[in-house]
Amino acid sequence: MTKVALITGVTGQDGAYLAEFLLKKGYEVHGVKRRSSLFNTARIDHLFHDVHEKGLPFFLHHGDMTDSSSLTHIIQKVQPDEIYNLAAQSHVAVSFEEPEYTANSDALGALRILEAIRILGLQNKTRFYQASTSELYGLVQETPQKETTPFYPRSPYAVAKLYAYWITINYREAYGIYACNGILFNHESPIRGETFVTRKITRALARIKLGLQECLYLGNMNALRDWGHAKDYVEMQWLMLQQEQPEDFVIATGVQYSVRDFVNAAAKELGMAIAWKGEGVDEKGYDASGKCIVAVDSRYFRPTEVETLLGDASKAKNKLGWVPKISFDELVSEMVREDLKSAERDELVKRHGYSAFNYHE
Ligand code: NDP
Ligand code: GDR
């Protein structure tokens, strides 16, 4: 029997990798997509086909995490064996600007799906995966962080995700729903959103190298993160729903780098020299010739910061047999390569005189 999966957040980084992964496994895959005034399906266009054509068993439904009626209706229609709840306002800094919306989509969104499973009587059929996060550890109480490490969330995003984490466990215990939390540490890829720090760095340095941009402005350069590759991490999301008993798992590489390390690794990959403050560079990042490559701009500081995260994924290794396959260096190299390609395309277009202004003339 073909298994049916429903992915919320299918247009995002993880959603795209997971949809591809599940289709390869022979699943029928349904995705929830919110309405937008511009196309927001660039990451999954290669999987989608027009209803009038033959193609992969991949279907999209309009819905929103803030709208119970759409979610319940989709779940009723699709009758999924597995739901992967990946949709979220996932940007930590933005959550300080939109705290209420973040709570609505990230906290209550998870509740809406669990309630739909319960109300539709699907508790013995539908398994539920919740995209939990290392941000729950926030002000860390223990290093490295594992499943038993106490939480101390440091942003409206993390507080909303804390609710989603606990409501997932509560519905598992109260109603016997197969529901689990994947506590995932940062994971990146060439299709990472452009405003997360890794992609911001690889994209900007590639553009600086080709003369398309002058300077990269960053916030806290000393933040430490445990960065893995999204492709590795979605495999674990699936594995978690294939166990006999539902459980929560930390997923991480167990290796930590700073934002500054990431800049250096990306610059090395591009053969660029980066001068740092104190090495002939002033407070704002300008060298003696007035040239700036990387500068700190306090607008990117957060009201409360998560300074250090490092995961211990021993439980996932032992119980799920999961190990990350892609190293930090390979991740940086792939991201730089892809951003350089796209910068080269932009540079070519610019060199041949195209500009948005000409287009509108
Ligand atoms: P992205 O930001 O790339 O994707 C988020 C997805 O959620 C997008 O498809 C987005 O749609 C959708 N979405 C946002 N708000 C709504 C809404 N109100 N209704 C419906 N859909 C919505 O995130 P990632 O793929 O990186 O992460 C996936 C999940 O995992 C998120 O929940 C994130 O919080 C969590 N997580 C991520 C980690 C990481 O390092 N990447 C680590 C730990 C947890 P649209 O495309 O229209 O914006
Ligand atoms: P994070 O990722 O907050 O860990 O959340 P992000 O890449 O945004 O920040 C990582 C660290 O880099 C510092 N930083 C900057 N961050 C951004 N975005 N832009 C900057 O210019 C910049 N300069 C320094 C940040 O302060 C932070 O310390 C991600 C998201 O995917 C969440 O959804 C997910 O839950 C967690 O990872 C695990």
Domains of the chain and any CATH numbers: 4-189+227-256 (3.40.50.720), 197-224+257-305+327-352 (3.90.25.10)
Distance 57 CA to ligand 2 centre (A): 34
Give the pLDDT of residue 54: 86
DSSP string, 179-205: EEEEEEPPEE-TTS-TTSHHHHHHHHH
d(CA 98, CA 100): 6
Nearest atom in ligand 2 to the alpha carbon of residue 155 is 3
Does residue 219's CB lie within 6 angstroms of at least one atom of ligand 2? yes
SS3 state at 47? coil
CB atoms within 10 A of CB 8: 30
- State the ipTM, two decimals: 0.99
Does residue 72's CB lie within 6 angstroms of at least one atom of ligand 2? no
SS3 state at 3? coil
Residue nearest to atom 6 of ligand 1 (CA): 9
Residue nearest to atom 14 of ligand 1 (CA): 88
* Ligand 2, pocket-test mutation among 197, 221, 250, 335, most atoms within 8 A of CB: 197
For 41-59, how does the pLDDT look when each residue is reduced to its tens digit (9 = 90+)? 999 999 998 878 889 999 9
pLDDT > 90? residue 359: no
Ranges 2-11, 183-192, 265-274: which has the least confidence = 265-274
Average pLDDT, the chain: 94
Give the pLDDT of residue 290: 65
* Ligand 2, pocket-test mutation among 90, 186, 226, most atoms within 8 A of CB: 186
Residue 357: band (very low, low, confident or very high) from pLDDT cuts 50, 70, 90: low
Mean pLDDT for 97-108 is 98
d(CA 89, CA 94): 8
pTM, full prediction? 0.96
Residue 361: band (very low, low, confident or very high) from pLDDT cuts 50, 70, 90: very low
Residue nearest to atom 5 of ligand 2 (CA): 92
Give the pLDDT of residue 286: 65
